[in-house]
């Protein structure tokens, strides 16, 4: 885009408006209508009050306030909502976007400067939108000798795996996208994919700097996955289950961090290494290897990788909360839904409207979500803090620490946990329960 | 053990600085204050008077068209050219005055040092950007206008740190 | 092969293990020059610096400008340290033309030189932080540098490229309230410098990265002809401000900073400790400065030097900076040779980087205080 704006002419403006309307109509009819038909054919329509809810019926009922609430409620409990909006992608992406903005402002305050300021009227709050629009408008350049299919799917795989990881984290009782009985093992399997993706995209880009960066990413992530897995074994031993929701429920009276603080520290440091954040950001070390395995990604591919990284950040912080800090447990601070709205309805002036089945989300779930968000935000702030304080670590120091010290410390806490279990202090049938 | 202590001290220092004031000048809303009125030169004493070296200001009632400023700039940036003006002044029989091309000027101020008639000074104006190169050439008429610069803040140091306030 | 290679070229055997990396001009870790590094796994086998990307022909261009027009021209190699790069030029021209400089001008020059030295060192420290991945160091140094740039702006009128020192003194007198403002900001700056200790110099991660890397022993430092803080970090006590004092440095009281280890950590610490000494010099000079007096000796129009040659040198942030000027009865000098500290230290880069790990490359390379623009002139 040139920096000198062309002169404004009304005829050109109206021509461009007509152009836009033409394209919208064309795309709507050629693409939108088939999508509507596919939805109508393949999605199971729910049964409400004995009637099959077709879209036409849904729209008639939505206009009638006394009947709209059951429709919304049934939609909220579908799997699609869970995947796309609440504990799944929408919620995580919103938290990730807030994290990016807060990270920039937080680091700026520590470094005695302002951070984003001009985008958006108040202290740069629309900066992220500006960055997203900028990335979308950039040209995606692919090196000539790169391995094109693998290069293209690299960022998509990254976001997909990060999304799979996000889907395993329980936010409130019953609200989790995927709840396998071996949830923690599924987490380990998912994070085992990230080094593969890093090496694939690094190799596919066919350049020396990405090669070095990819190898460093591989070394770093693999050598830190082992202490990560070992440090969580003590939690499994103490709570007796691998299912993440059950681990949270077992923390009703006390949090596991009280009994396994060493594991918590080891886990915290290994997740900073898995996320490639400073002080462990060798794979993206800007001053040595020019952004490492991310060098050749431009435009929206880079945007997808950033999104994936921050989704991973939220997911790891969520995992820390779920395993060590008690997940959604906390005193009930959410006010209960006023009883008379359920029985009498809302009164505005002379009109009284009744909404049967009103509390959309029950109090327990909202309280649990609130505590989960507060704890996760605290953990995220702790993860953001080392970025302003430490320089980058060197690869041989990292490998030395990862293979000797952290594995040793993780084993120490496994022995403590085993000792507490066999002494009859914790676990099912123990003294403290 | 000492590494753990060092790490905690570094984190402590980082967290303490969250309470220190921000130092940045928020530019278009706040602008810096300057001492004085711009760089000036006293040819009799041979010494300048301290001030910001911004855009020049030409006093038409003193300029005699001697071209010493253009001669001084020839070796440096060649930004000053003499042009004919439509004004008649008693001291300027040839009716030529300098025009300055800010695309080439390096703001060194040696032209101000060269002027013996108290006619060319520099002002506090530093916002000289334009959309075309030809708009950067300031004619003697444009150089005669005294700029109004808003000046709001300067560096203030207190207990909680330094800031522009 | 029957074709003859031109002299200086040689055939390079392509090895499976050794990879040639171009830490080139378009690299976030190199500055304005190129390093051709051959890497075997993680160890650097050889390093070949390739300066010259910013060469403008400053010395040749100086022959077409007279002694006063050379001032904005010769300060361009290091724009934010301009007083130090003009200082030996002014001293040399004053020797050539036989000009006496008033006392107050000498003190003002010393203050300007020390302020500029702090500005350059802070900028260098900021980039050192970035090379090691420590973004807070960059932001803090750049922010504190503003304190000095503000002072220099009040003094000379510009934030960089000050063009403040001229043969004969300085171009303008200090503005009103300058002493009090300068003292306040220098005191605050000393307090801020102490805060760098915890987060940067005593940070265990930083020490683990820079200690015992790129060790330059005392004999090697003298043999290779290094200068400046690199020399002082290897245990040689040589500072031109003390050994060959110029202007009023013999009246001011400060110490030379010497460290014995000669590794990257010492080389990064010596300029930091020298900033404390610079603050002492500034405060001392402000106290001892004559309260009034002229700051510039008026020169005859178009001064011409005789058939003469002169060499003067001073201590800048990067090392000994000297000018050798030959004149022959014309307003322009016949030959200006600039001898720059960075170019003398360039020899240390291939010498120190051989055998180092690739991860240590930025730490060692930038700790040598090498400013590419000045080295290329």
- Is B17's pLDDT higher than 70? yes
- Identify the residue with better confidence: C293 or C233: C233
Q: Mutual orientation of helices A208-239 and A193-204 as an angle, nearest 10°?
A: 180
Sequence-ordered list of residues with C-beta below 8 angstroms from that of B119, at least 6 positions apart, any chain: B58, B59, B62, B63, B64
pTM for this entry = 0.86
- Is A1's pLDDT higher than 50? no
Angstroms from A280 CA to nearest CA on chain C: 10
Sequence-ordered list of residues with C-beta below 8 angstroms from that of C233, at least 6 positions apart, any chain: C216, C258, C259, C261, C262, C266, C267, C269, C270
Record: contact C157-B2, CB cut-off 8 A:
no
- Is A22's pLDDT higher than 90? yes
Chain C residue whose CA is closest to A391? C134
Q: Give dist(CA C152, CA C156) in Å, integer.
A: 6
**Minimal Cβ distance to B47: which of C156, C161, C172:** C172
Give ∠ CA C328-C330-C333 in degrees, rounded to 5: 70
Residues of B in contact with A108 (CB under 8 A): 22
Record: contact B20-A4, CB cut-off 8 A:
no
- Is A433's pLDDT higher than 60? no
Q: Which has the closest alpha carbon to B122: B137, B113, B130, B112?
A: B112
Q: Give dist(CA A286, CA B125) in Å, integer.
A: 38
Q: What does DSSP assign to residue C157?
A: S
Asked whether A410 and A260 are in contact (CB, 8 A), the reply is no
Asked whether B134 and B62 are in contact (CB, 8 A), the reply is no
Q: Which has the closest alpha carbon to A365: A176, A172, A171, A170?
A: A172
Q: Give dist(CA C363, CA C265) in Å, integer.
A: 9
Record: contact C209-A113, CB cut-off 8 A:
no
**Minimal Cβ distance to A391: which of C143, C205, C360:** C205
- Is C171's pLDDT higher than 80? yes
pLDDT digits (tens, 9 = 90+) for C279-299: 999 999 998 888 888 888 888
Q: Give dist(CA A381, CA A317) in Å, integer.
A: 10
Residues of C in contact with A212 (CB under 8 A): 358
Cβ-based interface (< 8 Å): residues of B facing C: 2-3, 6-7, 9-10, 12-14, 17, 23-24, 34-36, 39, 41, 45-53, 72, 75-77, 106-110, 113, 122, 155, 157, 162
- The pLDDT score that the predictor gives to residue A353 is 66
**Minimal Cβ distance to A395: which of C42, C131, C132:** C42
Greatest CA separation for chain A: 85
Can you tell me the mean pLDDT for A400-423? 84
- The pLDDT score that the predictor gives to residue A288 is 63
Chain C residue whose CA is closest to B71? C69
Record: contact C69-B10, CB cut-off 8 A:
no
Gap between the terminal Cα atoms of chain A: 66
- The pLDDT score that the predictor gives to residue A380 is 92
Can you tell me the mean pLDDT for B147-155? 78
Q: What does DSSP assign to residue C359?
A: G
- Is A48's pLDDT higher than 70? no
Instruction: Kindly tell me the sign of the dihedral angle through the C-alpha atoms of A240, A241, A244, A247.
Output: negative
- Identify the residue with better confidence: A55 or A277: A277
Q: Give dist(CA A343, CA A354) in Å, integer.
A: 8
Record: contact A113-C143, CB cut-off 8 A:
yes
Buried b (16+ CB within 10 A) or exposed e, A43-68: eeeeebeeeebeeeebeebeeeeebe
Give the 3-state DSSP-derived string for chain A, with helices as H, strands as E and coil as C.
Answer: CCCCCCCCCHHHHHHHHHHHHHHHHHHHHHHHHHHHHHHHHHCCCCEECCEECCHHHHHHHHHCHHHHHHHHHHHHCCHHHHHHCCCCHHHHHHHHHHHHHHHHHHHHHHCCCCCCCCCCCCCCCCHHHHHHHHHHCCCCCCCCCCCHHHHHHHHHHHHHHHHHHHCCCCCECCECCCCCCCHHHHHHHHHCHHHHHHHHHHHHCCCHHHHHHHHHHHHHHHHHHHHHHHHHHHHHHHHCCCCHHHHHHCCCCCCHHHCCHHHHHHHHHHHHHHCCCCCCCHHHCHHHHCCHHHCCCCCHHHHHHHHHHHHHHHHHHHHHHHHHCCCCCCCCCCCCCCHHHHHCCEEECCEEECCCCCCCCCHHHHHHHHHHHHHHHHHHHHHHHHHHCCCCCCHHHHHHHHHHHHHHHHHHHHHHHHHHHHCCCCCCCCCCC
**Minimal Cβ distance to C205: which of A208, A279, A387:** A279
Q: Give dist(CA A209, CA A213) in Å, integer.
A: 6
Sequence-ordered list of residues with C-beta below 8 angstroms from that of C368, at least 6 positions apart, any chain: C230, C267, C345, C348, C349, C352
Tell me which chains share at least 3 CB pairs under 8 Å with chain B.
Answer: A, C
Q: Name the least confident of A418-432, C243-257, C330-344.
A: A418-432
Q: Give dist(CA C362, CA C377) in Å, integer.
A: 23
Q: Give dist(CA A1, CA A71) in Å, integer.
A: 47
Query: For chain A, which residues make up each domain, given as ranges?
Result: 138-422
Can you tell me the mean pLDDT for A420-424? 78
Q: Give dist(CA A288, CA A382) in Å, integer.
A: 27
Residues of B in contact with C155 (CB under 8 A): 50
Asked whether B53 and A424 are in contact (CB, 8 A), the reply is no
Length of chain A: 433
pLDDT digits (tens, 9 = 90+) for A97-136: 899 999 999 988 888 888 888 887 777 888 888 888 888 8
Angstroms from B96 CA to nearest CA on chain C: 23
Q: Is the peptide bond before A358 cis (omega within 30 degrees of 0)?
A: no
Can you tell me the mean pLDDT for A201-216? 81
Residue A161: which pLDDT band, with cuts at 50, 70 and 90?
very high
For all residues of chain C together, what is the average pLDDT? 86
Q: What are the tokens at A174?
A: 């019953």
Can you tell me the mean pLDDT for B152-165? 76
Length of chain C: 377
Residues of B in contact with C149 (CB under 8 A): none
- The pLDDT score that the predictor gives to residue A286 is 59
Can you tell me the mean pLDDT for A379-385? 91
Question: In this prediction, what percent of chain C has a pLDDT beyond 90?
Answer: 13
Residues of C in contact with A113 (CB under 8 A): 139, 143
Query: For chain C, which residues make up each domain, given as ranges?
Result: 58-376
Question: In this prediction, what percent of chain A has a pLDDT beyond 70?
Answer: 86
Record: contact C172-B50, CB cut-off 8 A:
yes
Residues of A in contact with C140 (CB under 8 A): 111-112
Is C166 strand, coil or helix? strand
Q: Give dist(CA A74, CA A80) in Å, integer.
A: 11
Q: How far is CA C70 from the centre of its chain?
A: 20
Residue A316: which pLDDT band, with cuts at 50, 70 and 90?
very high
- Is A49's pLDDT higher than 70? no
Dihedral angle, C-alpha B129, B133, B134, B140, nearest 10 °: 50
Can you tell me the mean pLDDT for B27-35? 81
Instruction: Kindly tell me the sign of the dihedral angle through the C-alpha atoms of B130, B133, B138, B142.
Output: negative
**Exposed, middle or buried: residue C9 (CB in 10 Å: 0-12, 13-18, 19+)?**
exposed
Q: Which has the closest alpha carbon to C287: C107, C103, C84, C112?
A: C107
Record: contact C199-B10, CB cut-off 8 A:
yes
Cβ-based interface (< 8 Å): residues of B facing A: 7, 10-11, 13-15, 17-18, 20-24, 26, 131, 161
Q: Give dist(CA C372, CA C238) in Å, integer.
A: 23
For all residues of chain B together, what is the average pLDDT? 84
Residues of A in contact with B22 (CB under 8 A): 108-109, 112-114
pLDDT digits (tens, 9 = 90+) for C55-100: 888 889 988 988 888 888 888 888 888 888 999 999 999 888 888 8
Can you tell me the mean pLDDT for C221-237? 89
Can you tell me the mean pLDDT for C352-376? 85
- Is A2's pLDDT higher than 50? no
Residues of C in contact with A112 (CB under 8 A): 139-140, 143
- The pLDDT score that the predictor gives to residue B159 is 73
- The pLDDT score that the predictor gives to residue C294 is 82
Which of B6, B24, B42, B68 best tests the C interface by mutation, with the highest count of C CBs <10 A?
B6
Q: Within 10 A of B155 (CB to CB), how many other CB atoms are there?
A: 20
Is C223 strand, coil or helix? helix
Chain A residue whose CA is closest to C43? A396
Can you tell me the mean pLDDT for B28-50? 82
Residues of B in contact with C158 (CB under 8 A): 52-53, 107
Domains of chain B: 36-147 (3.30.70.3270)
Asked whether A357 and A69 are in contact (CB, 8 A), the reply is yes
Residues of C in contact with B109 (CB under 8 A): 157, 163, 171
Q: Give dist(CA C103, CA C94) in Å, integer.
A: 14
Q: Give dist(CA C32, CA C51) in Å, integer.
A: 8
pLDDT digits (tens, 9 = 90+) for A283-301: 776 556 666 777 778 888 8
Asked whether A359 and A76 are in contact (CB, 8 A), the reply is no
Residue A431: which pLDDT band, with cuts at 50, 70 and 90?
low
Residue A342: which pLDDT band, with cuts at 50, 70 and 90?
low
- Identify the residue with better confidence: C106 or A69: C106
Chain B residue whose CA is closest to C76? B106
**Minimal Cβ distance to A391: which of C21, C132, C357:** C132
Record: contact C135-A111, CB cut-off 8 A:
yes
- Is C271's pLDDT higher than 60? yes
Angstroms from C236 CA to nearest CA on chain A: 30
**Minimal Cβ distance to A286: which of C28, C136, C358:** C28
Q: Within 13 Å of residue A295, how many CA atoms lie on the same side as its CB?
A: 29
- Identify the residue with better confidence: A46 or B98: B98
Q: Within 13 Å of residue C90, how many CA atoms lie on the same side as its CB?
A: 30
Residue A4: which pLDDT band, with cuts at 50, 70 and 90?
low
Can you tell me the mean pLDDT for B47-57? 86
| Pair type for strands C320-328 and C165-166 | unpaired
Q: How many beta-carbon pairs below 8 A join chains B and C?
A: 105
In CATH, what is the architecture of C58-376? Orthogonal Bundle (1.10)
Record: contact C135-A288, CB cut-off 8 A:
no
pLDDT digits (tens, 9 = 90+) for C25-66: 877 767 788 888 888 877 888 888 888 888 888 889 988 988
Q: Within 10 A of A377 (CB to CB), how many other CB atoms are there?
A: 17
- The pLDDT score that the predictor gives to residue A394 is 82
pLDDT digits (tens, 9 = 90+) for A247-270: 888 888 788 888 888 889 889 988
- Is A51's pLDDT higher than 80? no
Record: contact B161-A386, CB cut-off 8 A:
no
């Amino acid at each position: 885009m040139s920096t000198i704006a062309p002169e404004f002419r009304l005829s050109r403006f109206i021509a461009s408006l007509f152009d836009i309307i033409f394209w919208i109509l064309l795309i709507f009819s050629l693409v939108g209508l088939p999508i509507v038909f596919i939805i109508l054919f393949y999605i199971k329509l729910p049964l409400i009050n004995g009637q099959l809810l077709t879209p036409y019926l849904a729209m008639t009922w939505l206009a009638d306030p006394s009947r709209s609430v059951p429709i919304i409620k049934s939609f909220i409990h579908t799997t699609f909502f869970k995947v796309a909006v609440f504990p799944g992608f929408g919620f995580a992406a919103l938290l990730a976007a807030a994290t990016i903005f807060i990270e920039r402002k937080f680091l700026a305050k520590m470094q005695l400067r302002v951070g984003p300021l001009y985008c958006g009227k108040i202290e740069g709050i629309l900066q992220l939108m500006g960055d997203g629009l900028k990335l979308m408008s950039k040209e995606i350049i692919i090196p000539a000798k790169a391995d094109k299919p693998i290069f293209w799917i690299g960022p998509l795989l990254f976001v997909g795996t990060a999304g799979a990881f996000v889907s395993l984290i329980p936010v409130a009782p019953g609200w989790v996208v995927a709840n396998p009985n071996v949830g923690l093992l599924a987490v380990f399997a998912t994070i085992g994919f990230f080094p593969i993706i890093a090496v694939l995209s690094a190799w596919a880009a066919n350049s020396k700097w990405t090669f070095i960066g990819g190898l460093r990413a591989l070394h770093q992530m693999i050598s830190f996955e082992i202490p990560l897995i070992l440090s969580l074994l003590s939690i499994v031993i103490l709570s007796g289950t691998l299912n993440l929701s059950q681990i949270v429920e077992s923390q009703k009276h006390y949090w596991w961090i009280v009994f396994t603080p060493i594991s918590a520290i080891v886990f915290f440091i290994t997740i900073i290494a898995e996320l490639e954040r400073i002080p462990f950001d060798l794979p993206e070390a800007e001053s040595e290897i020019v952004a490492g395995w991310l060098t050749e990604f431009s435009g929206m591919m880079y945007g997808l990788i950033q999104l994936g990284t921050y989704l991973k950040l939220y997911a790891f912080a969520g995992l820390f909360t779920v395993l060590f800090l008690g997940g959604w447990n906390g005193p009930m601070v959410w006010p209960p839904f006023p009883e008379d709205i359920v029985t009498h309805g809302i009164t505005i002036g002379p009109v009284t409207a009744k909404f049967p089945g009103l509390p959309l989300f029950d109090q327990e779930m909202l309280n649990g979500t609130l505590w989960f968000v507060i704890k996760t935000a605290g953990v995220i702030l702790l993860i953001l803090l080392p970025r302003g304080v430490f320089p980058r670590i060197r690869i041989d120091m990292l490998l030395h620490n990862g293979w000797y010290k952290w594995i040793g410390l993780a084993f120490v806490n496994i022995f403590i946990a085993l000792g507490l279990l066999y002494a009859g202090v914790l676990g099912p049938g123990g003294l403290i329960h | 053990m000492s590494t753990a202590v060092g790490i905690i001290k570094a984190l402590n220092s980082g967290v303490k600085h969250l309470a220190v004031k921000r130092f940045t000048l928020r530019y278009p809303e706040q602008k810096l204050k300057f001492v004085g009125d711009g760089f000036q030169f006293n040819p009799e004493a041979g010494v300048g008077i301290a001030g910001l070296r911004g855009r020049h200001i030409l006093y038409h009632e003193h300029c005699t068209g001697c071209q010493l400023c253009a001669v001084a700039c020839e070796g440096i940036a060649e930004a000053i050219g003499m042009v004919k003006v439509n004004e008649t002044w008693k001291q300027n029989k040839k009716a030529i005055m300098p025009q300055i091309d800010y695309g080439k000027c390096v703001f060194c101020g040696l032209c101000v040092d060269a002027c013996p008639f108290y006619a060319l000074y520099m002002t506090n104006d530093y916002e000289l950007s334009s959309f075309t190169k030809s708009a950067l050439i300031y004619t003697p008429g444009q150089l005669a206008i005294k700029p109004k610069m808003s000046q709001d803040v300067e560096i203030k140091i207190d207990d909680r740190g330094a800031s522009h306030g | 092969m029957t074709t003859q290679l031109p002299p200086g070229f040689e055939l390079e055997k392509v090895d499976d293990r050794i990879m040639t990396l171009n830490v080139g001009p378009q690299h976030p870790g190199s500055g304005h020059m190129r390093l051709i590094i051959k890497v075997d796994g993680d160890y650097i086998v050889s390093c070949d610096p390739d300066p010259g990307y910013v060469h403008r022909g400053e010395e040749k261009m100086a022959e077409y400008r007279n002694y006063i027009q050379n001032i904005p021209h010769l300060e361009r190699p290091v724009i934010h340290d301009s007083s130090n790069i003009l200082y030996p030029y002014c001293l040399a021209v004053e020797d050539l033309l036989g000009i006496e400089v008033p006392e107050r001008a000498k003190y003002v020059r010393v203050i300007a030189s020390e302020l500029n030295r702090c500005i350059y060192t802070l900028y260098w420290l900021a980039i050192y932080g970035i090379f090691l991945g420590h973004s807070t160091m960059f932001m803090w140094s750049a922010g504190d540098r503003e304190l000095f740039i503000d002072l220099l702006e009040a003094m000379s009128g510009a934030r960089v490229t000050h063009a403040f020192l001229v043969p004969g003194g300085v171009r303008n007198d200090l503005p009103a309230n300058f002493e009090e403002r300068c003292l306040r900001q220098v005191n605050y700056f000393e307090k801020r410098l102490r805060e760098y200790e915890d987060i940067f110099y005593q940070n265990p991660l930083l020490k683990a990265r820079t200690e015992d890397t790129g060790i330059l022993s005392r004999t090697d430092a003298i043999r290779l002809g290094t200068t400046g803080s690199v020399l002082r970090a290897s245990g040689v006590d040589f500072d031109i401000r003390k050994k060959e004092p110029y202007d009023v440095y013999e009246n001011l009281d400060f110490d030379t900073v010497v460290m014995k280890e000669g590794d990257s950590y010492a080389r990064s610490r010596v300029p930091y400790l020298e900033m404390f000494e610079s603050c002492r010099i500034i405060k001392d000079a402000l106290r001892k400065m004559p309260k009034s007096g002229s700051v510039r000796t008026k020169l005859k129009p178009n001064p011409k030097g005789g058939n003469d040659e002169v060499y003067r040198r001073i201590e800048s942030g990067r090392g000994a900076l000297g000018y050798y000027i030959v004149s022959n009865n014309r307003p322009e000098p016949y030959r200006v040779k600039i001898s720059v500290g960075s170019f003398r230290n360039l020899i240390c880069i291939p010498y120190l980087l051989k055998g180092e790990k690739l991860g240590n490359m930025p730490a060692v390379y930038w700790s040598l205080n090498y400013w590419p623009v000045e080295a290329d002139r």
